[in-house]
Amino acid sequence: MESKCLKALTIHFVSSTDSPEFTHLSWALSRSSVIGLDAEWKPVRAHQSTFPTVSLLQIACRLTRRLADESTQHQDESLVFLLDLLAIPLPSVYELLRGVFVSPDILKLGFKFKQDLVYLSSTFCSQGCDSGFDRVEPFLDITSLYNYIQHKRPGRKIPKETKSLATICEEVLGVSLSKELQCSDWSLRPLTEEQKTYAAADAHCLLEILTVFQVKVIKEGNPFHNVSKLRFSNLNLGLKEIFEEPDSCNRILRTKFCEALEIVRATTTSEFCQRIPTVEGVVSRMSCRNTIPMDNSLLQIVWKYGDKILLKESDRKPKTSKKKGKRQSSMGLINKERRLENMDDWQGPTPWDLSLGGDGCPKFLCDVMVEGLAKHLRCVGIDAAVPYSKKPEARDLIDQAQKEKRVLLTRDAKLLRHEYLIKNQIYRVKSLLKNEQLLEVIETFQLKICEDQLMSRCTKCNGRFIQKPLSTEEAIEAAKGFQVIPNCLFDKNLEFWQCMDCNQLYWEGTQYHNAVQKFIDVCKLNE
């Protein structure tokens, strides 16, 4: 996540219950009123007979400000803990996590966290924690907060389809949340620093989005702002007076509820585990730790928007495919796998090969799964197009690649299964990071990259630049109503280059030189 919200973020990797990091986690949980939750596991094939094993649990803690003392006042307000569930004996942290998941003093945040909870429960059950986890409450899904924020904007409607976490972060926080490592193998140890940062960002951004939501609620007027003014003296009103005041009944009920909740908390929050009946009559175990009650503003958000995750018995069983059809023989399946393996590696001439009527210039089509690779290829001077539409069908991708004599680059293994694929038309990129993907494509297709090619294509549209550069005066004229040129460039006697397709202007400033040096290093042009 390349954002300002991670600059001051402290990340603690917890791999043992005897470590200082685990002690710090216990301390932070007892002083947090809000936590963000996320989990990672090794990517698996759909419809398998068992749930995947969760490798990492991320807990982002927002410390309660009013409890800051001399020993903690200089620490970050937000801390992120990465629990290595492959190293920690799971029974040793089971009670702690189960208590946190149901603690009424901690609001839990997540993004589609029910699936994570199902996998977590299965993982802990497999290690001797028989009952696993069956609930998380109080809980807020980030999608609900996003819908509220967007719906309150003039002219905005609640989206019909669920946005990705990266999209929500982009729209709400204005930061880019990279998802390159989402499908990396989280079961491998040690985790890379990039994986740790990625995992921490996924949990921490949940706290940031809640902060935006809280500010928006406060600005629009707190629907409970009169509750604090209602005291016992005010509750002695007669029925006539009560009904004459708008929403007074609701306010009285809410006040009574909050007071009752505080009494329950005062009697149940202690150093000892206690059992109390819940509203549904189910007995739940309280945490064995001291916790701090939420402040009024957070309580009101939980009261109005709070939810919970409850796992049913059917949730604990992996869903298998119910599609009916002819059963393939074992030999047929083996042959199919062999065909896919063969197509996974590049063989034969390329579509731009001169012997096939091509022009000899490498050309690629990058689907949405490797869209970042397209920009990297353009930066080193390689023609790299993207699909015509944002959500193209598989056949549209194949047709575009065939028509423009391009090799389709993708990470989608399903594309390899289409029968109408033309030979030597598609290549599945194996690497996850953009720099590694670039090197993989260069090596696979034996591309020749030289320093003169760097930054010779428009990274925005893949177009070519004009042959002669523009002067500052010409660039200012060309940019009118289209692009803003910073005033600080006017007296630097720079040369400007314009894309012949989209008219975007470029100049050789600090960003240009940094990019050139980056790709010199990535492509090892100095060696």
**Over its length of 527 residues, how does the chain's per-residue pLDDT go in tens digits?**
444 444 457 899 999 999 999 999 999 999 999 999 999 998 765 556 789 999 999 999 998 765 444 344 434 478 999 999 999 999 999 999 999 999 999 999 999 999 999 999 999 999 999 889 999 999 999 998 888 877 765 555 555 556 788 888 888 888 877 777 777 889 999 999 989 999 999 999 999 999 999 888 887 765 444 434 433 334 344 444 434 444 444 444 444 444 555 444 444 443 333 333 333 333 333 344 567 888 888 888 898 889 999 999 888 888 765 544 444 444 454 454 444 444 456 767 888 888 888 888 999 999 988 989 999 999 999 999 999 888 888 888 888 988 898 999 998 887 777 655 666 688 989 988 899 999 999 999 999 999 988 999 999 999 999 888 888 888 888 888 878 888 777 777 788 889 999 988 998 888 888 889 999 999 988 87
485 and 444 co-located in one domain: no
Please provide the DSSP assignment of 13-32 as one string.
EE--TTSHHHHHHHHHHHTE
Q: Please say whether the beta carbons of 522 and 439 come within 8 A.
A: yes
Q: Choose among 310, 66, 63, 392: nearest CA to 207.
A: 63
Asked whether residue 434 is assigned to any structural domain, the reply reads yes
Q: What is the CATH number of the domain that holds 133?
A: 3.30.420.10
- Whose structure tokens read 């932070």? 28
Q: Indicate whether 267 belongs to any domain.
A: no
By residue range, what is the domain housing residue 484?
463-526
Question: CA 281, CA 277: separation in Å to the nearest integer?
Answer: 5
362 preceded by a cis bond (ω within 30 of 0): no
Instruction: Give all strands of the β-sheet with 54-63 in edge-to-edge order.
Output: 10-14, 78-84, 54-63, 32-41, 107-110, 135-141, 307-310
CA distance 29 to 309: 20
Are 505 and 386 part of one and the same domain?
no
Domain boundary among 394, 414, 448: 448
404 phi and psi, to 5 degrees?
A: -95, 10
Q: Give whole-number Cα distances, 504 to 133, 207, 363, 462, 485, in Å.
A: 54, 37, 22, 11, 11
Q: Are 21 and 93 in contact (CB under 8 A)?
A: no
Assess if residue 244 is contained within a domain: no
Which pLDDT belongs to residue 100?
96
Whole-angstrom distance, CA of residue 56 vs CA of residue 87: 10
Collapsed DSSP state (helix, strand, coil) of residue 12: strand
Q: Which residues contact 58 (CB under 8 A, 6 or more apart)?
A: 36, 37, 38, 39, 40, 80, 81, 82, 83, 199, 200, 202, 203
104-113 as b/e: b if 16+ CB within 10 A: bbbbbbbbeb
Tokens standing for 153?
A: 């904007």
Dist. CA 485–CA 476, nearest whole Å: 7
| Inside any domain, residue 285 | no
Specify the CATH number for the domain of residue 392. Answer: 3.40.50.1980
Residue 489 lies in a domain: yes
Taking the C-alpha atoms of residue 506 and residue 511, their distance in angstroms, rounded to an integer, is: 10
**Shared-domain flag, residues 501 and 437:** no
Q: Check residue 463 and report its DSSP letter.
A: P
- Could you tell me if 428 and 472 lie in one domain? no
In a domain, 268, yes or no: no
- Mark whether 412 and 481 lie in a shared domain: no
153-176: burial string, b at 16+ Cβ within 10 Å, e else? eeeeeeeeeebebbebbeebbebe
Cα distances (angstroms) measured from residue 413 to each of 12, 27, 410: 35, 45, 8
Q: Vertex 385, ends 383 and 352: CA angle to 5°?
A: 50
- Angle in degrees, CA 382, 387, 390, rounded to 5: 135
Domain boundary among 260, 294, 315: 315
Helix (H) or strand (E) holding 453: none
Tally of domains in the chain: 3
Q: Which of 448, 480, 507 is the last residue of a domain?
A: 448
**pTM, rounded to two decimals:** 0.56
> Is residue 377 domain-shared with residue 490, that is, in the same domain?
no
In a domain, 273, yes or no: no
